[in-house]
Amino acid sequence: MHNTQPWRFRVRRYAHIIELYADPARALPHSDPAGRAIHIACGAALLNLRLAAAVAGREPVVKLLPDPLQPVLLASVRLAGPYDALPAERELYEAIARRHTNRLPFSDRPVPPAVLAELVEATTVEGAILHVLDHDEAVRVLRLARDAERDQLADPEYRAELARWIGGARDREGVPDTALGPRAFDANAPVRDFAAGRPGRRGYAWFEKHPQLAVLSVHFGDRASWLRAGQALQRVLLTATARGIAASPLTQPLETADAWLVRDPRSGHEQPQMILRIGYGLPVPPAPRRPVSQVLN
């Protein structure tokens, strides 16, 4: 959330292990009190690490939450014997640097069924579920997102948390002004309004008439499941990038006590973890990233 980049890596060189830690200093205590979003973000980083190891010719052997006495140690990756990366792994690895959140309007061209099937399969590989919403469900979920955002923006603590991470000229973290996206003419943009109440020349634009949404879920709501959700999310985003599909997340209703309402009533007892808007959009610049020296020791 908010490009906080809440991860740290530690290399245990002689053991051939890379450890992934959460960075509590980058938590969002008001929006993410349980740390769910931190685990999802770190899960996404974990998938990138797995792909990088595979492409480098080493088999990544992952253990989630390897030490109960170290709650911020989220995963360890042992670089095992030689490994011949699959073509699909190389394709996803090449997409890492090109994957950017896109808050611009998308075209009304629908994502082809074959690509949607690939995105669904990407989550299945990681033990998660992706539901591509029909029109009525998309309208319902967008309404939940707008209602949640309205309530959040009325909360001074939420606005203070946003102010730390959103806006301005940022070169290492957070969401700069250049990545906020335009306002919608009809006030129903299918993106988060990070700039509510902020001055600036963002301009206005028409967004797609029928946004295409998908909900990523897992079967349980524990920490290991959140990490699996993050790996599934990143696999979906990289697959989408490789197929020329843009994406942006919507998490507002998932940050409230009513997160269960996002679940499709036909999907049983799944735990929704991410709402994705997908479609065809113009290229956008990358978000800022911290230097390696700040995340690796």
* pLDDT tens sequence across 20-53: 999 999 999 999 999 999 999 999 999 999 999 9
pTM: 0.96
pLDDT the model gives residue 59: 98
Interacting residues of 46 by C-beta distance below 8 A, sequence separation 6+: 20, 62, 74, 75, 77, 227, 230, 231
In 129-242, beta strands by DSSP E: 129-132, 183-184, 204-205, 212-218
pLDDT tens-digit map of 117-153: 999 999 999 999 999 999 999 999 999 999 999 999 9
Burial class of residue 99 in the structure, from the number of CB atoms within 10 Å of its CB (0-12 exposed, 13-18 middle, 19+ buried): buried
Tracing tokens 């008439």 back to the chain, one arrives at 209
d(CA 196, CA 141): 21
Mean pLDDT of 163-182: 90
Cα pseudo-dihedral 163, 165, 171, 173, rounded to 10: 170
pLDDT the model gives residue 113: 98
pLDDT tens-digit map of 246-277: 999 999 999 988 898 998 777 668 999 999 99
Q: Is the pLDDT of residue 178 over 80?
A: yes
d(CA 99, CA 92): 10
d(CA 212, CA 205): 18
Q: Are 202 and 180 in contact (CB under 8 A)?
A: yes
d(CA 213, CA 144): 13
Interacting residues of 209 by C-beta distance below 8 A, sequence separation 6+: 108
Query: What are the residue ranges of helices labelled H in 9-35?
Result: none
